[in-house]
């Protein structure tokens, strides 16, 4: 019933950002990610960082959550940054060993790469913390609608996506239950040799697979009994509404773009 993973998960509170249309949130976050790659000096990075911070504050979510959202990725970021530092040349050389060197250019590049990662993760975290997964699915459906013309089964894909999302907590809960049952029968997931640990996954995977299969069968029966036949002869209960705030958000993003390109000229 409850998931252990909470970081990067929707936080049900109310804020300006929460109330935005998921389509504008999805498109604007993707747009922002592209925008980050256009920053080329410390002023433009600082500017983007400031806008990101402002957005985060607007979500009213505790800063700790953003940190926790980034933490699992920190290792990859640091590795990339280190590689960037030791392999790029140019400027003053501070340290040198074989093909490795630390130069002023390298350091600067490292900081930029770090900033890029950081900003992208922050913005995607803003999206997932403020938008229920279902609404993201809706937004995808709405944005993919033009693809209906080339016979992409957009409605089916969207329904599949939203059912999958709806079943994630159920299956995680199920996994927890099965793990508990097998731990109670003496399976140890946290110690022993690698082979032993890999083996200990079997008693989880088989029951989980069977349970998922049974659930899917039950769900298919339930859907059929409730009259689901697929296709587009269906009306929609949930409709997305574009509001003033969404227009303002877009204008805001345009302003950020303008600001960024001005700062690039410095």
Partner 1 sequence: MIEVKNITYSYPNSDSKALNDLSVTIQDQQWIALVGHNGSGKSTIARVIDGLVEGYQGEVTVNGMPLNDDTVWDIRDQIGFVFQNPDNQFVGATVQDDVAFGLENRNVPRPEMVERVQQALEVVGMSEFATREPSSLSGGQKQRVALAGAIALQPKILILDEATSMLDPQGRQEMLEILKQMKQRFELTIIMITHDLSETAMADRVLLMNHGQLVADAQPEKLFARTQVIKDNGLELPYSEQLKEQLAVAGIDLPREYMNEDRMVEWLWDKLN
Partner 2 sequence: MGQIELNNVDYKYQPDTPFEATALQAINFTVETGSYTALIGHTGSGKSTLIQLIDGLIKPTSGEVTVVDHHSTATSNSKDLDQLRKNVGIVFQFPESQLFEETVLKDIAFGPKNFGKTDAEATAIAKKSMALVGLTEDFAEKSPFDLSGGQMRRVAIAGVLALEPEILILDEPTAGLDASGQAQIMNLFKQLNVEQGITIILVTHNMEDVAKYANQVYVLNHGAIVKSGTPREIFANQQWLMENYLTVPVTTRVAQKLIDKGYSFDEFPLTVAELSQKLIPKLKGEQ
Ligand X SMILES: Nc1ncnc2c1ncn2[C@@H]1O[C@H](COP(=O)(O)OP(=O)(O)OP(=O)(O)O)[C@@H](O)[C@H]1O
DSSP per-residue letters across 219-266: HHHHHHHTT---SS----S------HHHHHHHHHHHHHHHHHHHHHT-
CB 92 within 8 A of CB 106: no
Residue 266 CA to residue 263 CA, distance in Å, equals 5
49 binds, among partner 1, ligand X, partner 2, none (CB under 5 to 8 A by kind): none
The answer to whether 133 and 161 have CB atoms below 8 angstroms apart is no
Under the criterion CB under 8 A, does residue 175 sit at the interface with partner 2?
A: no
| Segment contacting partner 1 by CB under 8 A, of 78-86, 112-120, 166-174, 184-192 | 166-174
DSSP H stretches of helix in 102-201:
104-130, 133-144, 154-184, 194-199
Q: Specify the stretch interacting with partner 2 by CB under 8 A; choose among 17-25, 162-170, 171-179, 251-259.
A: 171-179
- Cα 262 to Cα 22, 36, 41: the distances in Å are 29, 14, 11
Distance CA 176, CA 20 (A): 34
Comparing CB distances to partner 1, the nearer of 180 and 214 is 214
Q: How far is the CB of 2 from ligand X (least distance, A)?
A: 3
Span 2-31, contacts to ligand X by CB under 6 A: 2
Q: Residues 184-203: x/- map of binding to ligand X (CB under 6 A)?
A: --------------------
Task: For residue 11, state whether it binds partner 2 (rule: CB under 8 A).
Answer: yes
Residue in 24, 34, 236, 36 with CA at minimum distance from that of residue 131:
24
Residue 215 contacts partner 1 per CB under 8 A: yes
Counting contacts by CB under 6 A, is residue 75 touching ligand X?
no
What angle separates helix 42-59 from helix 244-264, to the nearest 10 degrees?
A: 160
The residue assigned the tokens 């699915």 is 137
Burial grade of 245 (CB within 10 A; 0-12, 13-18, 19 or more): middle
Q: Quick one: what does residue 177 bind among partner 2, ligand X, partner 1, none, with the CB cut-off 5 to 8 Å set by partner type?
A: partner 2
Q: Helix or strand or coil: residue 171?
A: helix
Q: Does 235 bind partner 1 (CB under 8 A)?
A: yes
Q: Which stretch binds partner 2 (CB under 8 A): 44-52, 69-77, 187-195, 239-247?
A: 187-195
Q: Which is nearer to partner 1, 37 or 232 (CB)?
A: 232
**Footprint of partner 1 (CB under 8 A):** 1-2, 132-134, 162-163, 165-166, 169-170, 173, 214-215, 218-219, 221-229, 233-239
**Footprint of ligand X (CB under 6 A):** 1-2
**Footprint of partner 2 (CB under 8 A):** 2, 4, 6, 11, 13, 62, 174, 177-178, 180-188, 190-191, 202-203, 206-207, 210-211
């Amino acid at each position: 019933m409850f998931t252990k993973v909470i970081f990067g998960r929707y936080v049900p509170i109310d804020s300006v950002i929460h109330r935005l249309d998921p389509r504008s949130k999805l498109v604007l976050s993707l747009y922002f990610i592209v925008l980050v790659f256009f920053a080329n000096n410390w002023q433009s990075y600082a500017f983007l960082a400031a806008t990101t911070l402002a957005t985060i504050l607007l979500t009213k979510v505790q800063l700790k959550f953003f940190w926790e959202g980034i933490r699992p990725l920190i290792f990859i970021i640091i590795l990339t940054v280190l590689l960037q530092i030791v392999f790029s040349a140019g400027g003053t050389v501070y340290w040198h060993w074989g093909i490795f060197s630390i130069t002023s250019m390298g350091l600067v590049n490292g900081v930029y790469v770090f900033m890029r990662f950081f900003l992208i993760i922050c913005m995607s975290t803003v999206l997932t913390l403020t938008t229920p997964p279902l609404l993201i699915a809706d937004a995808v459906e709405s944005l993919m609608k033009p693809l209906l013309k080339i016979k992409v089964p957009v409605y089916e894909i969207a329904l599949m996506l939203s059912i999958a999302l709806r079943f994630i907590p159920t299956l995680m809960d199920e996994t927890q239950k099965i793990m508990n049952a097998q731990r109670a029968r003496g399976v140890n997931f946290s110690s022993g040799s690698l082979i032993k640990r890999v083996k200990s996954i079997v008693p989880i995977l088989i029951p989980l697979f069977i349970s998922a299969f049974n659930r899917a069968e039950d769900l298919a029966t339930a859907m059929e009994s409730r009259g689901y036949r697929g296709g587009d002869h269906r009306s929609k209960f949930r409709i997305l509404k574009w509001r003033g705030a969404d227009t303002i958000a877009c204008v805001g993003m345009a302003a950020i773009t303008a600001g960024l390109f001005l700062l690039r000229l410095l």
